Copies of this chain bind each other. A is one copy, B any other.
Amino acid sequence: MGEFELIRNYFAAAPCAQPGEGVALGIGDDCALLAVAAGEQLAISTDTLVAGVHFPDGCDPFLLGQRALGVSASDLAAMGAKPLAFTLALTLPDVSAHWLQAFARGLNEMAQGCAMRLIGGDTTRGPLSLTLSVFGSVPAGLALTRGGARPGDLLCVGGPLGDAAGALPLVLNQRSTEASTTQALLARYWSPQPQLALGQALRGKATSALDISDGLLADCGHIALASGVRLLVERDKVPMSDPLLAFFGPEAALDAALSGGDDYRLAFTLPPSLLAELLGEGWPVCVIGRAVEGQGVVLIDEQGQDVTPSTRGYQHFRETR
């Protein structure tokens, strides 16, 4: 089966592949065409996932499709962009109709949840890997970058951290636990929910933002560096879920929350005066620290003592085994 047929059979027929808002021309020509509304800019991000590095060989293709697009869409959330479309470059060792159907189903489910349309891509033969590019729109000048945090800003995250890292022993079948905990943690790993609405709500309010993929402390380091501030993270304010605490215990749970990565929650800085309004509107804003003069990221305890761990994060899937 040729590459064109592959794409057509399994992806182009999906309802989300039809032209729609922002998509002037979808799959099937030399290029897709996006129409960007006047006053809007186009946000673009590209991620590659390699079998055995970013996900286990032989993992469920439905979950892989869902996770791959969720992870990519999270970059749009981090910019405050509204999702429009995505491309998929899929490299496969062989053609399995069952695998492709399940993968496309997972991809489409996440695409519908994010209101994104598949507009093109490539299918090639080779070792299993996928590269997704995602496209969203954001009003010119309102994109959330990493570079605007100012001393005095609050440091916030969009919800409990560490669940995806906590799920790894389950993903790898290294440990087991009760069904409800297993289900809660695996859902956070396989179906990350990009915080798209929160990102858009933070436009014009957050002074910096990113999505946590490499671990809270490592990613806060990106904000600190780009903004030229020091970020203080209060250890006792880092939010963690009950399933993670039950499965890992408080100490390992905190490690997972600080350094585990794969959270795909937003981290952002906010002038204190804007906090009440966001909380009043029901947005999940957890204050975990603040920006001060200086550089770097420091974890502090209740007394303000530096308790920063020596390792701070980000390991590819393979490196965690």
Contact = CB atoms under 8 A, between A and B. Distances in A.
Contacts of A209: 30
Contacts of A30: 45, 75-76, 78-79, 146, 209-211
Interface residues of A, number: 62
A31 B125 contact: no
Given A31-B136, A53-B126, A78-B30, A89 B43 contact: no
Nearest to A316: B125
B41 A76 contact: no
Interface in A42-81: 42-54, 75-76, 78-79, 81
A276 to B, nearest CB: 27
Interface string A157-190: 0000000000000000000000000000000000
Name the prevailing secondary structure of the A interface residues. Answer: strand
Contacts of A36: 34, 36, 41-42
Contact of A33 (B42, B131, B133, B316): B42
Given A87-B133, A91-B129, A129-B91, A31 B50 contact: no
A1 interface: no
A126 B317 CA distance: 13
Nearest to A121: B46
Contacts of A79: 29-31, 33
A126 B129 contact: yes
A254 interface: no
Nearest to A2: B314
A17 B109 CA distance: 35
A101 interface: no
A103 interface: no
Interface of A: 2, 24-25, 28-36, 38, 41-54, 75-76, 78-79, 81, 87-89, 91, 119-122, 124-127, 129, 131, 133, 135-136, 138, 140, 143, 145-147, 209-211, 226, 314, 316, 318
